[in-house]
Amino acid sequence: MGKIITVASHKGGVGKTTTTLNTGFSLSRFGQKVLLIDSDPQGGMAMASNLKRKTEKGLIHLLKNEVKPEQVVIPTKDRRMGILGPGITEPEDVFFFEMEARKGNLGKIITVISEKFDYTFVDAPAGLGGIVTSLLSVSSSVLVPVNCSSISVRTLPVFLKLIRKIRAKFNPGLMLEGILMTLTDESDSCTEIFEEMQSNFPAGVILDTCIPYDESFERAGLKSIPAGMLKGAEEAAQVYMNLAMELKTREMKGKTKEGDEDEGLF
C-alpha cells in the first residue's frame, strides 16, 4: 500500500496547498506514482492545478456514490500524477462533506483510492476541525508547514497535541513527517524563530529543507502550475525537489532501521 501524507496546519496561508502541489510534482519527477487530493471545501489545490477546467466533480460525488474514482481522478497531461478535487460547488455541500468526514467515510474513500499510488498527498483545510481529524485518522503521516512568524510557532503546540490524540485514539501508526518551515527570509526575526524551533524540538522534527519566500510561487499559482513547470522559477522548483529528496531519504533510513531488527539477507 502507498503512503498517505496529509499536509495540514493549524494556520491558514502557510503554504499547505503550494507544498502539496510542488512536493507531489517533485516526487512524480523521481518516477513515483503520485495522487494529489484536495480535501479543502474551498478547493485550494483544485484551483492551483486548474482541475476545474477538466471536471467539477470530485470527493463529494464519490461520497454520494454518484461516480467511480476513475471518473474523478484526473491524470495530468504527462500521466505521472492524478488529481482529485473536492467537487464542492454549493454551500450546503460543505455541511454534507464535513458530516461524511466525521463519520469516517471520507477517510475510507481516500484509503481505497490511494492503493494504486506510491504517494497520496492530501491538501487539508486550515485548522483543527473534523475534516483534518478524519484525514489524520487514515494517514501514514502528517507534514506540517509552519510559516516563519511568532504567532504560527506559538500556536503550534495545540496542533501537535491534536496529532498525539489522534495517534492515541484512532491511528497508532500516524507519523509526524516533519515540520516544514515556509515563507522564510533572511530577516533577523526569521533566523531567530528558526533557531528557537530547532532548539525546542528533538533532532529531525524540523525538516532541513526550508521553503523561502519566493514570488515565483505566486506567478506559478497564477498559471495554476507547479513552480517546476514555470520558466524562470528554477530556484523555487529546486527547493521542493530538495524537500522531496529529503522525505525520500528519511523514508529509506526509516526502512533500514526496521530492517536492522530483521534477520534478512541485506
Ligand X SMILES: Nc1ncnc2c1ncn2[C@@H]1O[C@H](COP(=O)(O)OP(=O)(O)OP(=O)(O)O)[C@@H](O)[C@H]1O
Q: List residues binding Mg ion (CB under 5 A).
A: 16-17, 44
254 part of the interface to ligand X, by CB under 6 A? no
Nearest to ligand X of 18, 209 (CB atom): 18
Q: What does the per-residue mask of binding to ligand X show for 193-232, with x meaning CB under 6 A?
A: ------------------x-xxx-xx--x-----------
DSSP-derived secondary structure letter, 206 = B
61 part of the interface to ligand X, by CB under 6 A? no
Selected range binding ligand X among 12-20, 61-69, 188-196, 247-255, rule: CB under 6 A: 12-20
What is the smallest separation between the CB atom of 114 and ligand X, expressed in angstroms?
20
Selected from 18, 23, 137, 139, the binder of ligand X by CB under 6 A is 18
- 52: which 3 cell numbers? 476545474
Selected from 3, 4, 15, 110, the binder of ligand X by CB under 6 A is 15
Cβ-proximal residues to 86 (8 Å cutoff; 6+ apart), any chain: 38, 39, 40, 41, 43, 46, 58, 59, 60, 97
Q: What is the DSSP string of 137-169?
A: TT-SEEEEEEESSHHHHHHHHHHHHHHHHHHHH
The rounded distance, in Å, linking the Cα atoms of 115 and 120 is 9
The rounded distance, in Å, linking the Cα atoms of 171 and 161 is 14
117 part of the interface to ligand X, by CB under 6 A? no
94 part of the interface to ligand X, by CB under 6 A? no
The rounded distance, in Å, linking the Cα atoms of 211 and 236 is 8
85 part of the interface to ligand X, by CB under 6 A? no
- 236: which 3 cell numbers? 523555487
Selected from 6, 17, 26, 140, the binder of ligand X by CB under 6 A is 17
